[in-house]
Structure 1
Amino acid sequence: MQFGKGHAIGVALAAAAIALAPVLITNGFYLKVLFLIGVNYLAAAGLNVLVGHTGQKSLGHAGLFAVGAYTAALLTARLGWNPWLAFVAAGAMAGLFGVLIALPALRVRGPALAMVTIGFGIVVEKVVSEWQNVFGGQAGIYGVVPPSIAGSALNDSQWVWFVGVLAIVAHLTIRALLHGKYGRAFMAVNTAEVAAESVGVSVYKFKVLAFVVSAVTCGLAGALIAQQNQYINSDFINFSLSIFFLLIVLFGGSSVYGPLVGAVVLTLLDAFLARWPTAQHFTYGALLLFALYAMPDGLSGALGRLAKKLVPALARKPVLPAPTAGWKLRAAERTAADKPLLQTRAVYKAYGGVVPTNNIDMDIKTGHIHSLIGPNGAGKTTLLNILSGVNPPDRGSIEFAGQSIVHMVPNRICAIGLGRTFQNLKLFTDMSVLDNVKVGLHRHMRAGFWSCLLGLPAAQREELAARDEALQILDFLGLLDKADEVAGSLPYGLQRRLELARALATHPRLLLLDEPAAGLNPQETQDLVGVIARVRDLGITVLLIEHHMDLVMAISDHVIVLDYGEKIAEGKPLEVQNNPRVIAAYLGTDEPDEDDLELEARHG
């Protein structure tokens, strides 16, 4: 695993504290509180991947906690399993239920998603309380067998050490996962799902994965409680527990340290207020409101900002290496000029009585810059959305690089070599400029889940290679000095260029540019002409939507004109410019194009 010096010191200090605390503290109640801090951290660390990084709200993780607890209880008390194996099985079973929740839950979002997870938690609570033959109902299951060492069950001190080791392992593995391509993909899904799909990230896959990670850690937390108490019943499983886990994440913050901060503060507060249940619930509600409105990035974020003010060295960013070579496509990705690349036949799309794409035939050849123009509402963006998989056509055929892409999901279309930018910017605004481009390289990074989770050397080498290539792309587009800046803080013109850099990182054979000059000043527009020409010279074919006719005429090899969803002309720029039907369609308006009915991708 990769350690920074400061992080390594922090982990060493945490390990020392965990080792010494049970030696210095002999009071059983205090040891129980320390144990609960570890259990709550374990549950919240995985939930933070789901909520804090992937942006999926869950109010049903008490149900997953119950799955882990009852799995450990049933396997040891009823089936006589080894308690260590039962503990591992509890995490695996909770992960399986995480998949089962995710599959229906991911067809909805926002409040509807929260309601689905609430429903799961309620169902689990009712099942374990009513199904007495299996789960013991309100009486619960006694005789849950705890793990043992040399035939002796763990004592209070050993439980603290055990949960402390699990907490450190969870922190290190989740940190390694979030600091690599998986963490960037989670954040991309959280910020802009359509953009994430466009650069090869499967939104559906990463939402399911986030559910599974959160389910496994929550299930292990449940198993710990059942085995430590040697008893479990439905009183342990209620809606308040789901709220408590979510509060730890929101109050602590989405950083990898947030769940630890939240678990420590809220577990201690919970223990202090245990004698006043009414005050407990009021305090939780007040803290939730405070976390949402006063500390949007949680207590860990507030503490981080304070630490950087007090110790400016903490805010210092690492020096990035200068690119040693210019960026270019790999040899296998370059294609000969004037070869068929994209063909559409009779592509049709209607929204009720509006037909933005009406039987469009189009042929795109390699090595050229094609421009798609037309007046407002002509259907240009709708056609690009169809080509990139955002919206499926109602009928017609589309072949790209020799294969049909009709009804293919956007991340698969990206994987075969079609990249794009958007009319309305869809950057990952809270990520750095460098990380935005590295998300574009996601599909080219081959390290698997376990390699990234364990921080293996292969994953680290690939991460360094991705950083170097991303810096080359930024250098190619004149953004190298902005690599460490937050994408959303860039001026609008540079944000446009960053979106182009992210699209180039996918190594497209065909690049769809949706009004790249929109909002640019005259000098930036003129610079864009040179940028697009250099992209073409790399061996990338370009299909461009643009209203700036000076740009279109200066850069295009072939122009296609749409009007009211129909193709009315095509040919070389001068031919199109003098076409009577084009002139009649008010070619050359400088007004900005309105969004064509853009629908978010559906994944199934």
Structure 2
Amino acid sequence: MLVWRLIRSVPGWLFPLAAGLLVLLLPEFGLGFALSRQVQLACILALVVSGLNLSLGYAGELALGQAAMYAAGAYTAGLMSIAGYTDIVLQLIASGLVALAVGIVTGIPGLRLGSWSLAMTSFFLVLLVPDIIAVFGDATGGRNGLSGIEPATLFGEVIDADRFYVVVVLVAILWFAVMRNLVVSRHGIAFRTLKQSPVLASSVGISVFRMKLLGYAIGAFPAGLAGALFANIDMYVSPEAFGFTFATAVLAACILGGATSVYGAVIGAAIMQLGPNQSSEFQQYALVFYGGFLIVGGVLLSGGLAKVAKQVTARLDRKAGLTGRGAPVRGTDTARPATAPMSGQTLVVDGISKAFGGNQALDDTSLRAEPGSVTALIGPNGSGKTTMLNMICGFYRPDSGRILIGNKEVQGMAPEHVARVGVARTFQTPNIPDGVTVLEAVASGRYSTDRVSMLPTVLRLPRYRTVRARDLAEAERALETVGLAHLRDETATSLPLGMRRLLEVARSMVAEPRLLLLDEVASGLDEDEVERLADLIRRLGRAGCTIVLVEHNFRLVLALADTIVVLAQGRVIAAGLPSEIEHDPRVLSEYLGVVAEDTELAGEAT
């Protein structure tokens, strides 16, 4: 276990880098021509698979268009070479950009239509590749393929076979370094958040359409790079190389290696290329093999080999004592850090109505919440509480009425824009993306607070480092506030329900909200956890935050709320101080189910 502890003390990214450098130096150890070609083809396939990993594994968008992007890159490089532009760097840039453009152009209609449209659009795009090539046969060579490609050059010198091997492996190493930087950044967490739930993504200020398109388009870029490299291996490009069989092979490699893994693409591509793809007999039954593998692999190997590796690593970590630092001490009086001042804004819900078909969810309903106070919204199931929260957040548009946060009307705004105004929320069921740590899950709440683009992120420029430092500092402070700091490195989804609810509150806090919406946040918590939660809500209120609390725990509502608004059948039936609401006969009847015959309570209410 000492050896394992030493291994785990080394930064994880050094191991794939060392493996990449070893592959780069293989020719120095007498790598033969045939094996050298297979390694290059494996690297090229890994580039294509990595694009699918990004769009499917991280962004959650099933799309098989990488084969078409691969073809676009290959024909771009081939046509450039025939036209006299043989510089490999220029070809790589142009091929990557053309593939990116194809991804954007084909992704927009598929994503606009929603549901499975992107999968179907990309599927038909792959089927159309041979026909598109045939239509432009005068330039592409049609179904006979594109020949006459000149050897690639670098700085005016022809690249021989040995140096081209170095180019292929270097391009793969550099791309996977870029992809790794992207995946572990706030953008990578945003992709995971989107995959988990578009509603959750919108609630933290992520544009669902833009992020989906970004994942699909960026996934097209490495396919374009792969196409440029492929065109220069044999100096010939055939349309048969980009058909449905290849698209299925890419999907099979993705599933085998692990879709939610940066380096799973390398593992899956290497196994496919160095294994079955070398057999000429296999090609006759490739589709049958891939189809069977996808069925069996999808059932028996969920998560791919990368998930198996993670499970083995976690088991060794436990044996070495590197995890399981224990649950928090419950019921202690450990002092929490002071909550930083918060700039709450007045919420005004003025006469909003909302109907779903013949069901009137809200009918001329109004509510007002002030900074520094807790406004509770209570009522029986189906009274319209969550519908009101969803309209405040922008998920529903009111049929009539206004919603103001401060002086800004937000009704009709997209959810991500409402979030950027300063609205944060929790959910009835804790909504946390898979595969992220507690610290990362909390830091994801700052996605729209400090903005940093993709380029500084992948290149690790000072702007990225500054924003990341702020993200981590604010997330750690929020975790200290809710009492989860000692669990910062644990997998967020592994926490019990009570801790996940506190994690959601912490994620909302880091967004510097002007308005905090808490939806059934105490549901399922035990007595100690409810006490911790109540203390946290009080401190947030004293810090100046505007809080709207939807809650069924009437005792908790009476203890926390400054004002209580009671809904029944979509209308406000009472509003006032807790002492008034506690004895209101209609509230007792509608909300608590106290019948009119209960004379003792009826007498107390008069």
The answer to whether the 8 A contact 1:471-1:480 is kept is yes
CA distance in 2, matches of 1:478, 1:84: 52
Q: Pick from 358, 369, 375: which aligns with 2:374?
A: 369
Q: Which residue of 1 is the match for residue 250 of structure 2?
A: 245
Secondary structure in 2 matching 1:138: helix
1:312 offset after TM fit, Å?
6.5
Q: Which runs of 5+ in 2 are unaligned?
A: 1-7, 326-334, 595-606
Q: Which residue of 2 is the match for residue 293 of structure 1?
A: 299
**One-letter code of the match for 2:390?**
N
1:317 offset after TM fit, Å?
6.0
CA change 1:84–1:586 in 2 (3 A) is closer
1:306 aligns to 2:318 (yes or no): no
CA distance in 2, matches of 1:93, 1:184: 27
Q: Pick from 258, 272, 283: which aligns with 2:264?
A: 258
CA change 1:212–1:472 in 2 (3 A) is same
User: After superposition, where does 1:476-491 map in structure 2 within 5 Å?
Assistant: 476-491=481-496
**One-letter code of the match for 1:354?**
N
The answer to whether the 8 A contact 1:57-1:110 is kept is no
CA change 1:549–1:151 in 2 (3 A) is closer
Secondary structure in 2 matching 1:13: helix
Q: Tell me which moved more, 562-571 or 444-453.
A: 444-453
CA change 1:399–1:182 in 2 (3 A) is same
TM-score, normalization by structure 2: 0.89
1:402 aligns to 2:407 (yes or no): yes
Secondary structure in 1 matching 2:429: coil
Q: Which residue of 2 is the match for residue 596 of structure 1?
A: none
1:50 aligns to 2:59 (yes or no): no
The answer to whether the 8 A contact 2:446-2:511 is kept is yes
CA distance in 1, matches of 2:256, 2:555: 53
Q: Tell me which moved more, 437-446 or 415-424.
A: 437-446
1:269 aligns to 2:272 (yes or no): no
User: After superposition, where does 1:305-344 map in structure 2 within 5 Å?
Assistant: 305-307=311-313, 309=315, 316=322, 326=337, 328-329=339-340, 333-335=342-344, 341-344=346-349
The answer to whether the 8 A contact 2:346-2:405 is kept is yes
User: After superposition, where does 1:181-200 map in structure 2 within 5 Å?
Assistant: 181-200=186-205
Q: Which runs of 5+ in 1 are unaligned?
A: 590-604
Q: Tell me which moved more, 289-298 or 144-153.
A: 144-153
CA distance in 1, matches of 2:535, 2:155: 73
The answer to whether the 8 A contact 1:342-1:365 is kept is yes
Q: Which residue of 1 is the match for residue 516 of structure 2?
A: 511
CA distance in 2, matches of 1:547, 1:529: 14
1:493 aligns to 2:498 (yes or no): yes
How many residue pairs match? The answer is 578
Secondary structure in 2 matching 1:141: coil
User: After superposition, where does 1:23-38 map in structure 2 within 5 Å?
Assistant: 23-25=28-30, 27-38=32-43
1:74 offset after TM fit, Å?
2.3
Secondary structure in 2 matching 1:372: strand
1:26 offset after TM fit, Å?
5.3
The answer to whether the 8 A contact 1:84-1:147 is kept is no
1:488 offset after TM fit, Å?
2.2
The answer to whether the 8 A contact 1:146-1:227 is kept is yes
Q: Which residue of 2 is the match for residue 87 of structure 1?
A: 92
CA change 1:306–1:345 in 2 (3 A) is closer
1:571 aligns to 2:580 (yes or no): no
Q: Which residue of 2 is the match for residue 471 of structure 1?
A: 476
CA distance in 1, matches of 2:74, 2:529: 60
CA distance in 2, matches of 1:106, 1:524: 42
User: After superposition, where does 1:70-81 map in structure 2 within 5 Å?
Assistant: 70-78=75-83, 80=85
Secondary structure in 1 matching 2:275: helix
Q: Percent identity?
A: 30
RMSD: 2.7
Q: Tell me which moved more, 258-267 or 466-475.
A: 466-475
CA distance in 2, matches of 1:348, 1:9: 58
Q: Tell me which moved more, 53-62 or 421-430.
A: 421-430
Q: Tell me which moved more, 94-103 or 25-34.
A: 25-34
Secondary structure in 2 matching 1:349: strand
CA change 1:224–1:135 in 2 (3 A) is same
Secondary structure in 2 matching 1:344: strand
CA distance in 2, matches of 1:445, 1:315: 36
1:170 aligns to 2:179 (yes or no): no
